[in-house]
Amino acid sequence: MSDTEISKFISLILRHKPEAIGITLDEHGWADTEQLIHGINQTKHITMDDLERIVAQDQKQRYSFNEDHTKIRANQGHSIPVDVELQECTPPELLYHGTGEKFTSSIEKQGLIPKSRLYVHLSQDYGTAVKVGQRHGKPAVYIIDAAGMAKDGYTFFLSVNGVYLTKEVPVKYLKREK
C-alpha cells in the first residue's frame, strides 16, 4: 500500500472515524501513536518509521506529532467535535475558497457553510483554491471579503498548516471569480 493511500486512511481516522480502528481521540484531537499504528495494522501494515515519514512528507501538513511523538493529530478538517487549539487571528483582506462548479448555485443562495466539517476552509492564495476546486470537478473560486467579515465580528482561525478557518461565510462577503 502506498504512502498516499495510508495517509488518506490516517486522515479518515484522525478527522472523522477513530472508532473504525478502535481508538479514541482526546478533547484536542490527539490519538496515542502506538494505538493508531496497532489499529491500522489490523488491515494494513505500517511502522513508526512509516508514520513519521508520511507526516514529514505530507505536502499539506495535515498532521502533527506532540514533542515526543507519542501522540498525533490531524491539524484541521474534523467532522467530529475536537478542539485542536486553533489560534484566533486577523485574516488578510482577501481569502479564497475553491469548490466544484456543481456547488455554486447552492453557495450563492446560502453562502459557505461547513457541512460535515467544523469550519469552512479558506486559502490564502488563488492557486491553492483552484487546486482544491479541481478535486470536485470543474473548479470555481470565490473571493472572500475576509477583512469585511472580521470588521463585522466574524472570527477567523489559522491552522498550523496555513489554512484559514471560520464558521461560515455569508453570501454578502462572496464574489465568484469568473
Using alpha carbons, list the distances in angstroms from residue 36 to 66, 73, 134.
14, 10, 31
Residue ranges of E strands in 18-152: 31-32, 63-65, 71-74, 87-89, 94-100, 120-122, 139-145
The tens-digit pLDDT sequence of the chain (178 residues) is 789 999 999 999 999 999 999 999 999 999 999 999 999 999 989 999 999 999 999 988 899 999 999 999 999 889 998 888 888 999 999 999 999 999 999 999 999 999 888 899 999 999 999 999 999 899 999 999 999 999 999 999 998 888 999 999 999 999 998 7
Task: Say if residue 45 is in the same domain as residue 111.
Answer: no
SS3 state of residue 38: helix
Task: Say if residue 147 is in the same domain as residue 66.
Answer: no
State how far the Cα of 4 lies from the Cα of 28, in Å rounded to an integer: 25
Range of the domain at 165: 87-177
Task: Say if residue 150 is in the same domain as residue 124.
Answer: yes
What nine digits make up the cell of 152?
Answer: 463585522
- How much is the pLDDT for 60? 86
User: Does residue 119 lie in a domain region?
Assistant: yes
Q: The domain that contains 118 carries what CATH number?
A: 3.20.170.30
Last residue of a domain, one of 74, 104, 125: 74
Q: The domain that contains 30 carries what CATH number?
A: 1.10.10.970
Provide the 10 A C-beta neighbour count for residue 63.
21
Using alpha carbons, list the distances in angstroms from residue 71 to 21, 29, 63.
16, 10, 11
State how far the Cα of 58 lies from the Cα of 24, in Å rounded to an integer: 23
User: Does residue 82 lie in a domain region?
Assistant: no
Ordered strands of the 120-122 beta sheet: 87-89, 156-158, 164-166, 120-122
State how far the Cα of 65 lies from the Cα of 71, in Å rounded to an integer: 6
User: Does residue 131 lie in a domain region?
Assistant: yes
In which region does residue 115 sit, left (phi positive, over 0), alpha (psi from -120 to 50) or beta (all else)?
A: left
Q: For the chain, what is the domain count?
A: 2
Task: Say if residue 98 is in the same domain as residue 50.
Answer: no
- The DSSP code for 68 is T
- The DSSP code for 129 is H
